[in-house]
Amino acid sequence: MCRENMADFCGIFITILFSTVSVYAREDWSHFTFAQQWPVAVCAEHKVCVIPPTVNGWGIHGLWPTADSKSKGPENCNTSWPFNFERVKTLLPDLKKFWPNLYPDTGANSFWEHEWSKHGTCATSLPATSNELKYFQMGLKLHAQYNLTKILLNQGIITSNTAGYMANETEAALKRELGVNTVVQCVFDKEKTKKQLLYEVEICVSKDFKLIDCLHDESQSSCPKKEPIFYPPLHDKQFGIGVSVI
């Protein structure tokens, strides 16, 4: 325990110690997983869900520092750096359109707060994502660069109420466009359609933001291997999901 006459020294030492631990945690990863989600599938999974009219395509789920050995993490690297909306206020129109919160029963900024606290604080060792503003700017930049609506359309994968696609065919189509392996995630709509829906596409990028192969084995994807997955139209109730639109 620190003696009174050494209190200042101990305070400085403890600050340096925790700063070192925080930096180590942030650097204990090899690449980013950039995840985009299809709003209709998100709303099939969550009972309270709204797709704003400004949303016209795939939305960002998150930009996640990822360790090769675990295909996840680290997470929650710096609890002393809370989300501050004022720092990203200038991005609000783009965040609402491309990184939207689809859960009306949560705070307006809660989704962004969650992503920053859990993932963004782990990315601050890189100059390009060294603070809150840069982190969200990078997510928006990657979304514009890898527009999944256009990428899938280029490969003949279009939204449909009736036509399904096999998960491996979807991943193969993405590889033809991007040149790397991605991971496709699905969700089962157990309430209405009883169908597997295309939920998310995970694209991996290096720390200098170049495309790389995602680590992929059967445990990484939640999609079925032997039944089709469906990619329902946005803002279309015909699929029977009951999406609320404001």
Q: How far apart are CA 147 and CA 142, in angstroms?
A: 8
Q: How far apart are CA 41 and CA 189, in angstroms?
A: 8
> What is the separation of C-alpha 218 from the centre of its chain, rounded to a whole number of angstroms?
20
What are the catalytic residues?
61, 115, 119
- Does residue 51 sit in helix, strand or coil? strand
- Does residue 65 sit in helix, strand or coil? strand
- Does residue 56 sit in helix, strand or coil? coil
What are phi and psi for residue 115, nearest 5 degrees?
-65, -40
